[in-house]
């Protein structure tokens, strides 16, 4: 069963300057993330880290 049908999220960590290919060209990740509306981002507890609780910011893609 594909992950999408089970609604699992996933993380891919890359540098903010990493180039991503899109149908309209290559762009740095930082530029693409800036296009996501601020209201789309949610902060979730990701678990305990060496220096306390660790939070990650998520935005859901519908594509």
Q: 38 is written with which tokens? A: 């601020």
Who has greater pLDDT, 11 or 4?
11
Confidence at residue 24, expressed as pLDDT on a 0 to 100 scale? 93
Please give the torsion angle defined by the CA atoms of residues 25, 31, 33 and 37, in that order, rounded to the nearest 10 degrees: -100
Please say if the pLDDT value at position 1 is more than 50: no
- pLDDT at site 21: 93
pTM score: 0.58
d(CA 56, CA 43): 6
5-35 per-position pLDDT tens digit: 666 666 677 898 999 999 999 999 999 889 9
| 3 secondary structure, DSSP code | H
- Do the beta carbons of residue 27 and residue 33 sit within 8 Å? no
């Amino acid at each position: 069963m594909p992950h999408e049908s089970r609604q699992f999220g996933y993380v891919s960590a890359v540098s903010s300057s990493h180039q991503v290919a899109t149908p309209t060209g290559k762009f740095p990740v930082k530029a693409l993330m800036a296009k996501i509306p601020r209201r789309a981002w949610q902060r979730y507890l990701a678990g305990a880290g060496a220096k306390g609780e660790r939070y990650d910011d998520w935005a859901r893609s519908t594509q």
